[in-house]
Structure 1
Amino acid sequence: MPMIRQQLLLPLLAVGCALLSACGGRVAEEDPAPLTGANQLVLVVTPDWNATTGTLRSYERLADGGWREVDRAADVTVGRNGTAWGRGLHPQQPGTMKQEGDGRAPAGAFAIGIAFGYPGQLRTALDYRPMQASHWCIDVPASPHYNRIVDSRDVGDDAVTGSTEPMRRDLHANGDQRYKLGFVIEHNADAQPGGGSCIFAHLWDAPEVPTAGCTAMGEGRMRELLDWLDPQLRPVFVLLPAREHARLREAWDLPVPAP
């Protein structure tokens, strides 16, 4: 190869290798931090993977990129069998993955979806959907409506057959108030069959009663969250056991909870 051509090509080859993973032909890509662009954060930390309780804190992004805690810390309950990795904004992690019916709350980082509840109107910037007796969240993996809230008046009664998630639990489950107020945690948003469905933040039955996989809290704290959350600020919900929070804090740009 002529010397001039060789001198011109060597820098180009170096650039090419920098763009490829060890010059192996695959472009090197880093998973973006799941909180990139988020200006509101709801953070739940549990003692360990098997814990059924945790502490919820909320944060807003500062101009310098840091986080400031707002409102008050609150006790929450999570899955009756603890937690397992969910499918959300975060890259896949080593460990047990959440499955339909496992009684575990999904760990990870998730977008926050619509708000829902029993009242006809609610003060919140989230897209609020008042629930009727005809609304169900479909937890049947084979259903084309899996992991979606549907209205049987639109999809037909056959489409909700077999689902165990009426959204008006007060009307279908002896006055149950747990879904009186809540919002959707966007776990398994692309509805992979069996990956877990109908994951919400909602009211608890009692402080000592765990959930089937959701995060539950008292009504006062829920109302504070619904009044504060703003979809224009791209809020993110993060749930992690304490050791995973410590491991991922820097990579995910997570705040350190106050003692």
Structure 2
Amino acid sequence: MPEPRVPLRLPFVVCAAFLLLLAGCGSGTLAGMDGSGATTKAAGATGVPGPPGAAAVPPTPSPPPAPPREIPGLGPQTRAQIPAGARQAFVVTGESPDSNRSTAVLYTRDDLTVGWRAALAPWPAHNALNGWTAEHWEGDLRSPVGVFTLTAAGGRLDPPATAFPYDLSPDFKVEGEGFHGEPLEGSFDYVIAIDYNRVPNTSPLDHTRPLGDERGGGIWIHVDHGGPTQGCVSVTEDRMKELLGVLDPAKEPVIVMGDAASLSR
């Protein structure tokens, strides 16, 4: 008789081997899987350093600080004449080279990194009858253009509270009429000497003229009499009191004066 045929058991052997393979891998982590079965991140993704030699992304630069504020209307030549230590500047700007009408503004510079700011509102002012000049001479009826220190004050009346050296004297009396027939009386009740052709830190009544008498002198800020001056700058009496109250010798105040075109240079 023929031998009985043995059933083929290959599927069972293959299945057993496959189960053993799974059992052996179960104790580790499959490629691309973590222990919980989650997919791991690829090298170089966010939060994982890139390969050596990769270019670093530069940080965003901070914007540069704003430059200090300058006084409006002043050009580089005029600004260069303002002493580095000055922290108060009384700026008197004429309407034109031949005009006797001006606008005055006090600027302060308490923080050098911030720059200049207007400390008082603009005031109307008068200057000399014929306007302005870069080279003042006695009798030309023009106000000198430039930057000048302010170091002394005086007047016929008791001063308001002021830090300025103040010369109280009856010699500040003035009489007569101005160019438009207006009375001059009271114009020198309060004055601040402009250090043009004079010795700084002396009374406004000091007549010493370092440049010579022919170059004029006695250029002051004084009480306005309602018309043009012979060379001075004038503002109303209440403004004179206000100016005397805020000017501080410790802040090395200056006056910047001239027509708008000259000051813009």
TM-score range, shorter chain: 0.5 to 0.7
Q: Any conservation in 2 of the 1:122–1:128 contact (CA below 8 Å)?
A: no
2:101 to 53, 57, 60: 53
Q: Any conservation in 1 of the 2:104–2:122 contact (CA below 8 Å)?
A: yes
Is the alpha carbon distance of 1:54 and 1:121 closer, same or farther for their aligned partners in structure 2, counting shifts above 3 Å?
closer
**TM-fit CA distance, 1:61:** 0.3
Larger CA deviation: 182-191 vs 35-44:
182-191
Aligned to 2:221: 201
Is the alpha carbon distance of 1:169 and 1:54 closer, same or farther for their aligned partners in structure 2, counting shifts above 3 Å?
same
Deviation per residue, 1:134-171 (Å, 9 max, x gap): x3xxxxxxxxxxxxxxxxxxxxxxxxxxxxxxx21269
Instruction: State the secondary structure of the residue aligned to 1:238.
Output: strand
**TM-fit CA distance, 1:189:** 2.5
**TM-fit CA distance, 1:53:** 0.5
Deviation per residue, 1:186-233 (Å, 9 max, x gap): 101262121111000001111xx1001000111111111100000010
1:229 to 243, 247, 252: 247
Instruction: State the secondary structure of the residue aligned to 2:264.
Output: helix
2:256 to 228, 238, 254: 238
Q: Is 1:184 matched up with 2:193?
A: yes
Q: Is 1:103 matched up with 2:141?
A: yes
Please provide the CA RMSD for this pair: 2.2
Gaps of 5+ in 1: 1-30, 86-96, 136-166, 248-259
Task: Give, in whole Å, the separation in 2 of the partners of 1:120 and 1:222.
Answer: 13
Task: Give, in whole Å, the separation in 2 of the partners of 1:112 and 1:218.
Answer: 19
Task: Please tell me the residue identity of whatever aligns with 2:219.
Answer: I
Q: Which has the higher contact order (CA 8 A, sep 6+)?
A: 1
Task: Give, in whole Å, the separation in 2 of the partners of 1:120 and 1:47.
Answer: 33
Larger Rg: 2
- Greater strand content: 1
Instruction: State the secondary structure of the residue aligned to 1:244.
Output: helix
2:168 to 130, 144, 152: 130
- Greater helix content: 1
Task: Give, in whole Å, the separation in 2 of the partners of 1:35 and 1:73.
Answer: 23
Aligned to 1:80: 129
Q: Percent identity?
A: 28
- Give TM-score scaled by structure 2 length: 0.60
Aligned to 1:70: 119
Instruction: State the secondary structure of the residue aligned to 1:71.
Output: coil
Aligned to 2:88: 40
**TM-fit CA distance, 1:62:** 3.6
**TM-fit CA distance, 1:34:** 2.7
Task: Give, in whole Å, the separation in 1 of the partners of 2:230 and 2:184.
Answer: 18
Task: Give, in whole Å, the separation in 2 of the partners of 1:81 and 1:200.
Answer: 17
**TM-fit CA distance, 1:33:** 3.5
